[in-house]
């Protein structure tokens, strides 16, 4: 079936009739969209809109994650011919998922960027549609959270990262990818006692009241134990899940701006993500993929896999809500 279909399936990003179904087009060709979904600005009756945020002007070290959305889309073309492994749902067949394209913004007017991004996400959420974003550097999560908090109230944050990103910064106008969760707590966008960071391995004396499952603890216990701790912390509160690719060890994800040794393996991250199924996930992102430092392409592959796990978590929750 798949081999035969590959002979005539092409450019599903623009040729697909309807939004659902697997894609058998050649992984190495065709117009790129995330998982070969339709490009569409029409979000009526859409379950999830995928959107890229190619912004990397808030980094402390190496820039380049503005190319992350393209790299994740390209790496995702290895996956849309099979259902996701380890799940008993198939989001590509059973849910309406579109690629909404990228945010447009004036790269030379950085100060205007946060409000533009909040507007962009607000425009998706008004359609009763989920939003899954690809960064870009991690700062993008802050304007995104403003739109989510407007709709859902303060959310529980599940945050995978080598860094806490809660370094104190009382200038709310500074655009910095290391301080936005300090600001998100201060602004009331997230509930610290229902939020948790996983994979932390850089020193910051201020935790903003957020739970921390640091990288050494993840390594000492099983992924199942980590997943249970996460689920106990968030309960049934609406969850926003942010996946900074540098939560993974540089051996698994070298293509990122601020790599730190001692991180999670991709196997640990995959098991934890699958085992937190059942959380009340309302949105999420994958950030900090920088293809120019990604000599093997492994980082983009990990980013595309993490993104698909986020799709599965969202659809799992949607199915439960609709049951």
Q: Would you tell me which residues interact with Mn ion (CB under 5 A)?
A: 138, 161-163, 165, 244, 246
Would you say 32 or 198 has its CB closer to Mn ion? 198
Alpha-carbon dihedral sign for residues 292, 298, 301, 307: negative
Bridge partners of residue 242, in order along the sequence: 159, 285
Contact partners, residue 197, CB within 8 Å, separation at least 6: 159, 160, 161, 164, 210, 211, 212, 213
Helix runs in 129-189, H state only:
141-152, 180-186
The CA-to-CA distance between both ends of the chain, in Å, stands at: 32
CB of 62 to Mn ion, least distance (A): 12
CB of 256 to Mn ion, least distance (A): 7
Would you say 130 or 259 has its CB closer to Mn ion? 259
CB of 103 to Mn ion, least distance (A): 19
CB of 191 to Mn ion, least distance (A): 19
CB of 197 to Mn ion, least distance (A): 9
Alpha-carbon separation of residue 160 from 181, 240, 257 (angstroms)? 12, 11, 15
Would you say 9 or 161 has its CB closer to Mn ion? 161
Three-class SS of residue 323?
Answer: coil
**CA-closest candidate to residue 181, choices 191, 262, 135, 52:** 191
Would you say 53 or 129 has its CB closer to Mn ion? 53
Would you say 66 or 138 has its CB closer to Mn ion? 138
Would you say 77 or 164 has its CB closer to Mn ion? 164
Q: What is the layout of strands, in order, in the sheet containing 196-198?
A: 38-39, 97-102, 48-53, 130-135, 281-287, 239-244, 156-160, 196-198, 211-213
CB of 209 to Mn ion, least distance (A): 18
């Amino acid at each position: 079936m798949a081999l035969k279909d590959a002979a005539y399936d092409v450019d599903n990003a623009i040729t697909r009739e309807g939004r659902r179904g697997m894609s058998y087009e050649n992984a190495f060709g065709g117009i790129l969209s995330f998982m070969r979904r339709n490009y569409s600005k029409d979000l009526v009756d859409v379950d999830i809109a995928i959107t890229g945020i190619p912004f990397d002007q808030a980094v402390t070290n190496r820039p380049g994650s503005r190319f992350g959305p393209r790299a994740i889309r390209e790496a995702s073309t290895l996956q849309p011919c099979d259902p996701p492994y380890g799940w008993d749902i198939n989001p590509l067949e059973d849910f309406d998922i579109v690629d909404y394209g990228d945010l447009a913004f004036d790269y030379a007017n950085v100060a205007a960027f946060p409000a533009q991004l909040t507007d962009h996400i607000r425009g998706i959420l008004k359609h009763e549609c989920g939003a899954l974003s690809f960064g870009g550097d991690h700062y993008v999560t802050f304007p995104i959270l403003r739109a989510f908090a407007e709709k859902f109230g303060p959310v529980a944050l599940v945050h995978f990262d080598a860094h806490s990103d809660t370094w104190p910064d009382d200038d709310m106008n500074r655009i910095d990818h290391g301080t936005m969760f300090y600001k998100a707590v201060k602004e009331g966008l997230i509930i610290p006692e229902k939020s948790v960071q996983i994979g932390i391995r850089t020193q910051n004396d201020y935790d903003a009241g957020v739970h921390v499952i640091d990288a050494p603890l993840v390594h000492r216990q099983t992924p199942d134990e980590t997943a249970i701790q996460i689920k106990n912390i968030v309960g049934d509160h609406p969850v926003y899940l942010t996946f900074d690719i540098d939560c993974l060890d540089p051996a698994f994800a070298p293509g990122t701006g601020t790599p730190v040794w001692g991180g999670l393996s991709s196997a640990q991250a995959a098991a934890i993500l699958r085992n937190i199924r059942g959380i009340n996930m309302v949105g999420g992102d994958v950030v900090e993929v920088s293809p120019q430092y990604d000599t093997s392409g492994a980082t983009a592959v990990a980013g595309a896999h993490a993104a698909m796990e986020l799709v599965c978590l969202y659809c799992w929750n949607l199915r439960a809500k609709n049951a």
